[in-house]
Amino acid sequence: MSNLAEAIEPTHDDTREAGVDRYVVATTLAATAVLGVMVWQAATPRMLLLYAVGIGLGVSLYHAAFGFTAGWRNFIVRRRSRGLRGQLILLALASVLYMPVTALGLANGAIAPVGGYIVLGSFLFGLGMQLGGGCGSGTLFTVGAGNRKMLITLAAFVAGSVLGTLHLPWWLASPGLGPVDLGRALGPGGGILLQVAVLVALIWTVRAVEQERHGSAEPLAWRPEGGWLSTLFTGGWPLAWGVVALAGLGLVTLLVSGAPWGITFAFAAWGAKALQALGVDMAQFEYWTWAYPARVLSESLLLNVTSVMALGLLFGAMLAAGLAGRFNAGSQNRLGMGNVSAAVIGGLCMGYGARLAFGCNIGAFFSGIATGSLHGWVWFVFGFLGSIVGVALRPRFGMAN
């Protein structure tokens, strides 16, 4: 396996190595508590709650092995649709839950304009996530679980994100359709019905493709071999558990923060903060003079929701890997020139693409579609096309499909 997201992907008859890594769990809990105290002192109880939600997201992503990258690749290469069906079901459930919240004005949706920059950005992201070995959420939770290749991907991801902010104003000056909110255009009920109908049709289609190729479709739910309670804490979740957990935690994020779950703006902020600490005047770049980015640049990262939740996700994945006895599980993989090159190229493509496309597989694809933004659907189409190209390129870097 080329990365931890693939290595930990469970099957219903998986025989997993047992044993909690007490050292990793204890260290992670201590570090999590220290950062929690820092968040409490720097921000508000609301931010501490969002930090806890981030931890829950990390645990859920790891224990359910909910990887967008591997799910897409499995369908492209093997016509196995379990991962992709899980994502589509998650989108349908989230649409039903989230669109009424934004329609009532209780939170803002991830509504972004549609233009050529979305097409290019999502295509680059889809290509990059297959080379880099993980998407926005996948990169974070595999880094948290101790995969060293993904540290390289993350570093390149941060660099690409900062580069994307420097060019984004130029891209936004190109022609586009502007934001399209399906919930507002069709009414909340109409928007939900349209999205759920399309998603159900896609679920049926990819399941039919799998059944035609293999004779049956892999289940999303199965009876945990270690018992319900043991599985809940030590991992090997049925994918259906991950769907429910991610939808529920995403809803809490929407209600508490007033905005949907996002990830990659944190990477841009981390990179810009690092450059600023080295003496680079980020105010010379237009993007960092806009109100929100300028405020984030001037404040502590512990006051930024996306950064705090991303850090929580890292610690949550680390905790889950310790509970599963699999921390550092990907370190046996050699980091040859091919793997390193793919990680760098993939990370740069994802970082740059995410800025052009107003987010990654979470901020644009998941949160965009779940809150009724047309740009989320455009992201899905061209991100998937980019993944097809990325999958075709993987063997050139010595990575098997």
Distance CA 232, CA 362 (A): 24
Q: What percent of the chain has pLDDT over 90?
A: 86
Cα 257 to the center of its chain, rounded Å: 18
* pLDDT tens, position by position, 23-65: 999 999 999 999 999 999 999 999 999 999 999 999 999 999 9
Distance CA 147, CA 155 (A): 13
Q: Look at the block and give the residue holding tokens 């199965």.
A: 222
Q: What percent of the chain has pLDDT over 70?
A: 94
**pLDDT value at position 308?**
98
Is residue 146 over pLDDT 50?
yes
User: What's the whole-number mean pLDDT along residues 82-86?
Assistant: 97
**pLDDT value at position 12?**
38
**pLDDT value at position 222?**
82
User: What is the average pLDDT value for the chain, to the nearest integer?
Assistant: 93
Q: In this predicted structure, which of 12-21, 187-196, 335-344, 371-380 has the lowest mean pLDDT?
A: 12-21
Q: Which two tokens stand for residue 83?
A: 């991962």
Please tell me which residue, 15 or 286, carries the higher pLDDT value.
286
What is the total residue count of the chain? Answer: 401
**pLDDT value at position 331?**
52
Distance CA 291, CA 20 (A): 46
* pLDDT tens, position by position, 205-255: 999 999 999 999 999 988 877 778 888 999 999 999 999 999 999 999 999
Is residue 330 over pLDDT 80?
no
**pLDDT value at position 334?**
66
User: What's the whole-number mean pLDDT along residues 353-379?
Assistant: 98
**pLDDT value at position 333?**
56
User: What's the whole-number mean pLDDT along residues 104-132?
Assistant: 97
Question: SS3 string of 30-76?
Answer: HHHHHHHHHHHHHCCHHHHHHHHHHHHHHHHHHHCCCCHHHHHHHHH
Q: What's this model's pTM, rounded to 2 decimal places?
A: 0.93
**pLDDT value at position 226?**
73
* pLDDT tens, position by position, 64-77: 999 899 999 999 99
* pLDDT tens, position by position, 252-268: 999 999 999 999 999 99
Question: What 3-state DSSP class applies to 225?
Answer: coil
**pLDDT value at position 184?**
93
Half-sphere exposure of residue 81: CA atoms within 13 angstroms, side-chain side: 19
Instruction: pLDDT band for 349, please (50, 70, 90 cuts).
Output: very high
Number of structural domains in the chain: 1
Question: What 3-state DSSP class applies to 178?
Answer: strand
What is the identity of the amino acid at 254?
L
User: What's the whole-number mean pLDDT along residues 129-145?
Assistant: 94
**pLDDT value at position 289?**
97
Q: Look at the block and give the residue holding tokens 């096309």.
A: 385
User: What's the whole-number mean pLDDT along residues 110-126?
Assistant: 97
- Answer whether 242's CB lies under 8 Å from 64's CB: yes
User: What's the whole-number mean pLDDT along residues 77-92?
Assistant: 98
Distance CA 180, CA 23 (A): 49
Q: Which domain holds residue 127?
A: 4-397
Is residue 6 over pLDDT 50?
no
**pLDDT value at position 8?**
44
Distance CA 228, CA 94 (A): 25
Is residue 82 over pLDDT 80?
yes
User: What's the whole-number mean pLDDT along residues 302-308?
Assistant: 98
Q: Minimal CA–CA distance to 94: which of 255, 305, 218, 223?
A: 255
